[in-house]
Amino acid sequence: MNEQEIAKKIKGYLDHGTAELRAGTAFKLQRARQLALTRLSAPQQMPEYVLAGAGGATFGGRRIFVDARIWIGVLLLVGGLLSYQYWQAAQQARDIEETDAAILSSDLPIEAYLDRGFQAWLKRSEP
Amino acid sequence: MAIASHQELSAFLAEVERRAFKQALFAVRDEDAALDVVQDAMLKLTEKYAAKPVQELPMLFQRILQNTIHDHFRRQKVRSTWTTLLSAFGHRDDKDEDFDPLETLPARSDSNSATDPAQQQQQAEIVALVEQALARLPARQREAFLLRYWEELDVAETATAMGCSEGSVKTHCSRAVRALAEMLKARGVNL
């Protein structure tokens, strides 16, 4: 008996074994197939949800004009950065304001703060 | 060439799913793992290659299936390495060539049913022996035999699916058939 004939006989036994698969296993295979086919139909339904004017532009395979989560994230990030910058500028202005007020309300004339001898005297006077 | 329709893809998967499961089972020797392998292969086919013509599906699916089986072994090897490192009770890799399923595999629960006629019982026993002999073959020989003779791919398609030369396919197939015939003869099965 040659290779082809032996292979054919073995194939016959394998086919028989496959036909006799347990019902539970066959069911699980059927479920796996259905799951795979569900994944197939998902991308085909995508165009139904594309907004007019979106142009179908994609970023990394995702439709960026449709995915609101991306835009909300970007807006939150930009908003956060702008708020932080505004708060920092306001804080700086407050600090300058306080210093100016202290200098102007002081009994000492402004020229005294520019005098080097006065600075040296202040340092010597420190405990 | 037209791309495969939903019905064609469904019919194709229905036709190959049982053989794919058996192929995976011969390789991984665990029903749940074999089911996972088949499911992964089906998902990869439908997610990435659904736009291919229906004529290309058999070879594509076989290639995906073989790669998924190899991935399973790679993951198992990594897991096994970590288990050995982290535990004194780590076990050896099941892919060991000395593994002999003829001595360790449990008998098919439905193969000795008292209600079956004698001929059916004998047939079931031979089928079990053939499957056990196949599981005992070296992985590449089994892969070549199943693709070439069971899936009926030609030599060139088998070589593409296995990622080797046509000469290697012929050698693997020839050795596989000879080894199977000898193993079955030793168990009293004359083909």
Q: What is the pLDDT of residues A86-95, one digit of tens each?
A: 999 999 999 9
Instruction: Match 């029903």 to its residue by tokens.
Output: B31
The answer to whether ipTM exceeds 0.95 is no
Smallest Cα–Cα separation from B59: which of B154, B130, B138, B127? B154
Least CB–CB distance from A29: residue in B10, B21, B178? B21
Instruction: Give yes or no for residue B78 having a pLDDT over 50.
Output: yes
The answer to whether B119 and B111 have CB atoms below 8 angstroms apart is no
Q: What does the pLDDT look like over A15-45, one tens digit per residue?
A: 988 888 888 999 999 999 999 999 876 554 4
**Rounded-to-integer distance, Cα B36 and Cα B73, Å:** 13
Q: For an interface test with A, which of B130, B183, B187 has the most A Cβ atoms less than 10 Å from its Cβ?
A: B130
What's the confidence (pLDDT) of residue B111? Answer: 47
* Predicted TM-score (pTM) above 0.80: no
- DSSP secondary structure letter of residue B3: B
Count of other CB atoms within 10 angstroms of residue B49: 17
Residue A74 parent element (H or E): helix A68-105
What's the confidence (pLDDT) of residue B91? Answer: 52
Instruction: Give yes or no for residue B112 having a pLDDT over 50.
Output: no
Q: For an interface test with A, which of B30, B40, B42 has the most A Cβ atoms less than 10 Å from its Cβ?
A: B42
A3-19 vs B166-186: helix axis angle to the nearest 10?
Answer: 70
Residues of B in contact with A7 (CB under 8 A): 145, 148-149, 173, 177
Residue A127: pLDDT band with limits 50, 70, 90: low
Residues of A in contact with B142 (CB under 8 A): none
Please give the structure tokens belonging to residue B27: 């390789």
What's the confidence (pLDDT) of residue B86? Answer: 76
Alpha helices in chain B (DSSP H): 6-28, 31-48, 57-86, 101-104, 118-136, 139-145, 155-162, 166-186
Are A20 and B124 in contact (CB < 8 Å)?
Answer: yes
A27-41, A73-87, B12-26: least confidently modelled range: A27-41
Residue A123 parent element (H or E): helix A116-125
Choose between A81 and B93: higher pLDDT: A81
The answer to whether A32 and B42 have CB atoms below 8 angstroms apart is yes
**Rounded-to-integer distance, Cα B59 and Cα B84, Å:** 37
Residue B130: pLDDT band with limits 50, 70, 90: very high
The answer to whether B65 and B49 have CB atoms below 8 angstroms apart is no
A57: left (phi over 0), alpha (psi -120 to 50) or beta: beta
What's the confidence (pLDDT) of residue B123? Answer: 83
Please give the structure tokens belonging to residue A16: 């028989």
For B71, phi and psi rounded to 5 degrees?
Answer: -60, -40
Chain B: nearest CA to A8, how far in angstroms?
Answer: 7
